[in-house]
Homo-oligomer: A and B are copies of this chain.
């Protein structure tokens, strides 16, 4: 890479978006803009890696400093994200060769890939094209996932804000149900995301400061659903406190290993698409215990709720984007900046570095000692881990009662290649 001339950077968002992935984009672009000699332009992939493959690149230099700044407060993925997994170099050499063609055509020397586990696997594969296909590129993964299931890093940006949303929501709904329980709803079920790991469900537990507080029961994907034990706990809770508030992870399975509610469809990564465990649980309670119920499914609301994002989360998301650029400029390659917790009380963190080879395709499960003995709650250790991650508020600007989010111009870079690429 000709250091004197500088190279453009490619940045893409991948997988499910979050309330703060754009804060990371903001960190990447603002930091790169401070080093224009080394990185003249950040070109974003329209719809993630698909933008690179199809030469559909967005010229972020066309956006004002104000618009880029506003990304810090805007949920969703400003350039479009994609659920698209690159196969290995052996199996799909054509895709990697195409990437190199596009990178060459647009003078791209840096590859920043912002995503979760599957995406870091892609980052890792792309990082190998230098060695294996002879195209030198600096490849940096940037963590993002509401599931909080990436290894090495203490936590993942996106998670803290979902955690804050879920804990706030179940606390608020708990106040509601408690007041209605005498003559109406006695059991409330809130379904939250978390396919394999119960991090988000666990976060609901932060709302309870005493055993009488909502949520009274958390159902984790890590714990096999035991109908009898669950119903006994619901009944006991209603008899003791007058009502029962439940947080259930979409990934809860029965003893046969089947999801309690399976939509029967699969996403582009081949994962089963889940949804609807809350009504299933609520119906079970109604049928077996006869209690009047209500249920909510937060779905995308939880991961897009920028209006109640955690300040810690926003700051870390931004810092990771900034660090990714700094690492690249330092000549690091095939790495991912991480969050390192240096102190718990008071909470302190710094940026660390992980090798992509240590991150790709490794899923961080919740430690067993984060779940209480009866399997329905979180331990003090879990609480201590989670608590700082939801700290602080970082409200967006409101106008006429609504949060103001930016829509970028997303001006396309002129295509230089004649050949088209079919996705």
Judge whether B47 and A172 touch: CB under 8 Å: no
Contact A286/B265 with A180-B81, A391-B400 known, Cβ cut-off 8 Å: yes
Enumerate A275-305 residues with CB–CB distance to B below 8 Å.
275-276, 278-279, 286, 292, 294-301, 303-305
| Whole-angstrom distance between the Cβ of A3 and the nearest chain B Cβ | 34
Q: Interface-forming stretch among A26-34, A181-189, A194-202, A317-325?
A: A181-189
Using CB atoms, name the residue of chain B closest to A177.
B300
Residues 18-50 of A, flagged 1 when their CB comes within 8 A of B and 0 if not, give: 010000000000000000000000000001101
**Chain B hits for A400, CB < 8 A:** 387, 390-391
Q: Can you list 6 A-B pairs, Cβ within 8 angstroms, ordered by A?
A: A167-B402, A168-B403, A296-B300, A301-B301, A387-B400, A393-B398
CB distance from A288 to the nearest CB of B (A): 15
Contact of A176 among B79, B286, B303 (CB under 8 A): B303
For chain A, the count of residues having a C-beta within 8 Å of the partner chain is: 80
- Known contacts A16-B180, A172-B307, A265-B286: does B401 contact A300 (CB below 8 Å)? no
Q: Check if A294 sits within 8 Å of B301, measured CB to CB.
A: no
User: B residues within 8 A CB of A305?
Assistant: 169, 172
Knowing A184-B83, A405-B171 are in contact, say whether A300-B206 is a contact too (CB < 8 A).
no
Mask, A242-262, CB within 8 Å of B = 1, is 000000000000000000000
Q: A124 in the interface, Cβ–Cβ < 8 Å?
A: no
Chain B minimum-CB-distance residue to A266: B292
Q: Is A230 engaged at the interface, CB distance under 8 Å to the other chain?
A: no
A341 to chain B, nearest CB (A): 16
Residues 148-181 of A contacting B (Cβ, < 8 Å): 164, 167-169, 171-181
A135 within 8 A of partner (CB): no
Interface hit among A60-68, A69-77, A115-123, A349-357? A69-77
Q: A310 near B: Cβ within 8 Å?
A: yes
List of 10 A-B pairs having minimum Cβ-Cβ separation, nearest first: A76-B175, A77-B179, A390-B401, A296-B299, A47-B182, A176-B304, A172-B304, A76-B179, A173-B300, A391-B401
